[in-house]
Each structure stands twice: as structure tokens, then as C-alpha cells.
Amino acid sequence: MADHMQSADLCAATGLIDRCHLGDCRRLMEYLPASSVDAVVTDPPYGDTSLAWDKRCEGWIPAMSRVLKPSASVWVFGSMRFIATLFEAMEDAGFRYAQDIVWEKQNGTGFHADRFRRVHEHAVQFYRGAWAELFKDPQKTNDARAKVIRRKQRPAHTGQIDRGHYVSEDGGPRLMRSVLEVANEHGRALHPTQKPLGIVMPLIAYSVPPGGIVLDPFLGSGTTGIAAEMLGRHWIGFESDPACIRMQEERKRQGRTDLEAA
């Protein structure tokens, strides 16, 4: 915990944390102290369309690698086409694949009438360092159903040698599933690819210790920053589009009601 606080204090002293910095993330990350960030949660441009803002940013991974701590997580949203090319770049930077989640939306896009309607998006976790030393806070939901699970073998002796089954209580905690059903923000989003707080908050809570720092090199309308503040984490954001800075200011004026509405 002291290590996290020292990093936060250092970045705070230089005016870097809890704010978005306008400019190219590759250049701006040079101003961050090395090994100062606990984790990255980001949604880069995928380069899947011809839209002006959807241009891939080459070179952001090595710049990010320098500012991350030796043991750190990186969560990246992306289309399958984008993520497929991401693995080699992450491996070259010393990161390994850990797991992935699927964000299931309440509706999606149907550009082609002869394909399945796309109602999901992926987020992949990469990590470096020893997995055992990585900060991890498994997320749970309080929606377990009451049931009794019989074990095939008697558990190791723990003082209750007659316990050969496990009982769960209705409404009790269970591990959050890898498919997260969270409503998207169609109709009220300020940014065309705006992520809801409900899909970003579990990733931050899982990967960033309380008081730690999460970095988003492509902050967009500010979801990562808002989620981090709500969870008691510090954040650093970069954004090259001035219009997104105005979106962030508007979201702050609107408050944090998008989590309640989701």
C-alpha cells in the first residue's frame, strides 16, 4: 500500500493525477515518472472504420509499458479484428494474456442483414510480472441462488470432517461472470463509443488497489476517470481531441447518474 501511495504522491506533486491532459498520449506519457501507474484501462481507436477519429495509434504500448509498475494489469477494449493484432504487440512489450470478458449490450448494431446481430464487445486483460504478486480483487455479485453442492470427495480435514457438501444462501455472493450484461448509452452518450460506468468500474476495482493510479491513454468522454473517482482510485487521462475535453466537462455537469440509469 505504501508503494501505491508514494506513486500517487509523486504524481500529485507534479499535477499529473486526477485530470485529463490534452495531446498525443505517446508524447505526454514521457512526462510521467517511470513505474508510477498501477494499471491501464482503455478503449483505443480500433481502425475498423473510415471515420476521422477511428485511426489506430501506433507506438502507445511501449510508451505505456515504461510508466507501468513491474507487476501491472492492462485492460483493453476492442473489436475482434483489433484485439487479434494486439497480442503480438503486447507480448513484444513483455505482457502476457490473462483473461477476457464479454460486454453484452441490451442492443447492438446490425450493419448487415445477413449476419448475426452484434450485441457484444470484448475487453482483454494482459499482465506482466508474477501473477501471484499482481493486485487482484475478484469481483462478486450478490445474486447466488440457494443450493447444495455435493462434493465427489471429502474435503481436506479442516476441523469439520463431516462437511462433504457446500451450501450457498439465496442472494449471497458469487464470482462475477465473464459475460457482463450492462446497458450501453445509445441515445444519451456524448461520445460515439462511450463506455458505461457499469462495464469499466469492475475492471478498475479488480486491478487497481485503493489509492492507486489507473491510466487511460484514450480517455474520450471520461468514463475511466469518473469510475476511478467513484471507487477511491486516482486516475490519469490523455486525449488528443479537444471536443472530448468538452464532453468530459459536460459529463461532470450531468453528474454520475449514468450508472444509476444503466
**What is the per-residue pLDDT for 202?**
97
Whether 96 and 163 map to the same domain: the answer is no
Whether 116 and 241 map to the same domain: the answer is yes
Whether 257 and 224 map to the same domain: the answer is yes
Domain span at residue 15? Answer: 2-136+176-261
Whether 161 and 241 map to the same domain: the answer is no
Whether 115 and 49 map to the same domain: the answer is yes
Whether 86 and 146 map to the same domain: the answer is no
Q: Tens digit of pLDDT for each residue in 158-200?
A: 555 445 555 656 666 889 999 999 887 766 665 666 788 999 9
**What is the per-residue pLDDT for 119?**
87
Predicted TM-score (pTM) of the model is 0.83
Cβ atoms 136, 207 nearer than 8 A: yes
The secondary structure of residue 157, as a DSSP letter, is P
Q: Which residues of the chain have pLDDT under 70?
A: 1-6, 10, 12-14, 108-112, 144, 146-172, 186-193, 255-262
| Residue environment code for 163-177, b if the CB has 16+ CB neighbours within 10 A, otherwise e | eeeeeeeeeeeeebe
Residue that finishes a domain, picked among 119, 152, 175: 175
**What is the per-residue pLDDT for 192?**
64
Cβ atoms 79, 44 nearer than 8 A: no
**What is the per-residue pLDDT for 42?**
97
Cβ atoms 139, 177 nearer than 8 A: no
Q: Phi-psi bin for 117: left (phi > 0), alpha (psi -120 to 50), beta?
A: beta
Q: How far apart are CA 260 and CA 240, in angstroms?
A: 29
Going by DSSP bridges, is the β-strand pair 234-239/19-22 parallel, antiparallel, or unpaired? parallel
